[in-house]
Structures are given as C-alpha cells and as structure tokens.
Amino acid sequence: MSDAPVLFDEVAAGSRRLGRVTLSVPATLNSLTLEMVDLLQAQLDAWRDDDDIAALFIEGAGEKAFCAGGDVQALHASATATPGGPCEYAESFFSREYRMNYTLHTFPKPLIVWGHGIVMGGGLGVMAGCSHRVVTERTRIAMPEVTIALFPDVGGTWFLNHAPGKAGLFLALTGASINAADAIYCGIADRFIGSEFKDEVFEALLSQQWQADAAHNHAMVRHVLRPFAQKSAEHCPQGQVASHLDTINALCDGDDIHDIIDNIQAIDSEDAWLSKARDGLAHGSSLAALWIHRQLVENRHASLREVFQSEIQLATNVVRHPEFSEGVRALLIDKDRNPQWQYAQSRAVPAEVLEGFFTAPWSDNPLANL
C-alpha cells in the first residue's frame, strides 16, 4: 500500500477508464494539507485533458470520514509565526485550495463523490464542487468555522446562499450539524445511497459504455445511481432543516445581524438540535459572526468566480488577525475550550474593524485569473 496522502488509480471501464481518487490519511480523518491540494489539482488537470478518462470517483479512506476539513493546526502555526503580517503557508493553502475547488465546480466530466462519514469544512468544499454527490446514512456535515473565528469558505459563500430560505445563514452562524437528508434538501448533495452499496455502485459504473461526450456520460451516471438511491430511500435518516425552516426563517428575520444573533441566542427550547445550534453561536466569535453574515449578504448575487475571489480576500485578512489564532488555540491546540475573544458581543465591534476584513490586503487578488 502507498503511504501517499492521496491515491490515484485508473480503472478500465469498457473502451475508456475511470479515475479513482482516495483521500488517504484516515488518522487525521483525511484532512486536507497543502500537499494534498496540490496533488489533487495536478491530477484533475491531467484527467480533464485525457480523452480516455470518462469520469472520476472520489472517496475517503476508512469508515469515519470522507474529509473532516483542512489542516487547521498547520494554518495556526503559519498565522502565529508572523502575527499580523503575511502568513505564507496559510495564504498559499487558501489560494490553492480555492483554485482546486473552482476546478471541481467547473470540471466538464462527471465527478462522483462518495460523501460517507464526517464531511466538514474543506471536505464539504470538495464534495459540494462535484457533479454527482452521494451521501449515506453515516454522513455528518457541518461548517463550524464560527467556533474558530474563520468562516464557511471553500465555496460556502456560494452553496450556503443557494440553500432554502435562511438555512444557509443559520448553518453558517451556528455551525449546526446536518445529515444526508438535510444535505439533499439544502442542495449540497444529490442522492442518498446506503453505504453497503458502495462496491456495487463502483462496479456498475465500470460496466457502462462510456463515450467521449460528457453530457452522455453525466446521464449515464444518473442512470447508474438512480436505482441504488431508490433501493436506499426508506433508510434515509430524518432531516432537521426542512422541519425547522419556518423557525430558522423567523430567527433570521432581524432588523440587522445583531438582532439575528440575539434571536438565536435567546432560543429556549427542549429541541436538542436548535439548542445545540444556539450554543454553537454562543461559544463562537462575535467578530466572526459579523464577517460571516456580511460575506454571505454581499455575495448573494456573485458568480462562482467572484465568490472564490471574495473568499480569498476575507480568508487572508482573517488568518492575519489574532482572533483566528485564539480560536484555533482554544479548540484544537490547548483544547481548553475557553477562547478569549476580543469582543464580548457583536455590538461592541467597531465598524472600521469589520470593514478592514473586506478591504483588499494586496494589490492583486491571487485568484484574479480564475
């Protein structure tokens, strides 16, 4: 077995081949590093231009996670090495990760992703960018960046803004966990298929008559996946977002972001999912809640390209600010879960401080040429 963090294979499928991608660092729940991002980008570029490759199948090693996010501890080390200034590793990671995510979103050939287990942060960025997104009974999705003073990036600005009602904003502010049914309802996934069918799905894909025409191949993938989804339907877990959408919309119907935060933090309910969402926001950074809201609102009509260009600007400013380092320290480094946030509540954040996160920190955007 290879010890490479990402495994690539080409499997014969009739007169053509399927590319198989395995994120292969189960000890870290397949969390993305810069090396993994670069490996993925290079292979995506090669397979996109290889006429013999008809489609790609993307999975995570092990049963626990597809991908639990990015290597946040490495980002923290980069941020603390040069406090307040450019963070070479972190900023390279974000710009190259977003470029890879954009490649996934715009990839012409079918990308079938098996989103089994934990799918968080950067892992959700990979899954959301694929054209045929499968979730299982063990899929657990969240973007809890508010708890480390980041924001739902890797295209989160795009797919959360496309969720029903105010669900995207609510999930972004609270870091609430969702399952397979929720992912499909929110538009982050396409089909629920029981995990026991994984090998059968892959074998069925190999047995198809692939052609050079991408549209034909996309239709073929849908033809293969549909019966497995039908056989699995009765085992799909009960979702939370659809049943709570009226409540979510009411909570997010404030005169301003401060009212919305007040509404969520005032939740008094025996509903476990809502209570946990409330606590996620309460324990998170008030400053981060403000930039999360503004990022979503200001980019609600942005193109996919503009979304990633705005995300790299915000991510660069965030990683240079001490709030991010403190959030990661408290949750993942010292693990005391007692972050010393700079502002006790959102109304204490000066307008000019928030404005600084939406001001370009360089003359040329690293993703200007997407």
Residue numbers annotated as active site: 70, 122, 145, 153
| Structure-block tokens of residue 370 | 């997407």
Residue 225 neighbours by CB under 8 Å, 6+ apart = 112, 132, 134, 191, 193, 201
Cα–Cα distances in angstroms (integers) from residue 292 to residues 123, 262, 311, in the given order: 19, 16, 11
DSSP string, 142-171: E--GGGGT----TTHHHHHHTSSTTHHHHH
Task: Using alpha carbons, list the distances in angstroms from residue 64 to 27, 28, 31, 67, 126.
Answer: 10, 10, 12, 9, 17
130-166 burial code (b ≥16 CB/10 A, e <16): bbbbbbbbbbbbbbbbbbbbbbbbbbbbbbbbebeeb
How many other C-beta atoms lie within 10 A of the C-beta of residue 41?
A: 17
State the alpha helices, DSSP H only, in the chain. Answer: 34-48, 72-81, 88-105, 122-128, 156-161, 167-174, 180-185, 198-206, 214-232, 241-251, 257-265, 272-283, 286-298, 304-319, 322-328, 351-356
For residue 330, what is the DSSP state? Answer: I
Count of alpha carbons within 13 Å of 357, Cβ hemisphere only?
28
- Token output for 219: 């239709």
Report the run of H or E that residue 19 belongs to, with start and end.
strand 16-23
Closest of 95, 84, 6, 103 to residue 46, by C-alpha: 103
* Contact in structure between 331 and 110 (CB atoms under 8 Å): no
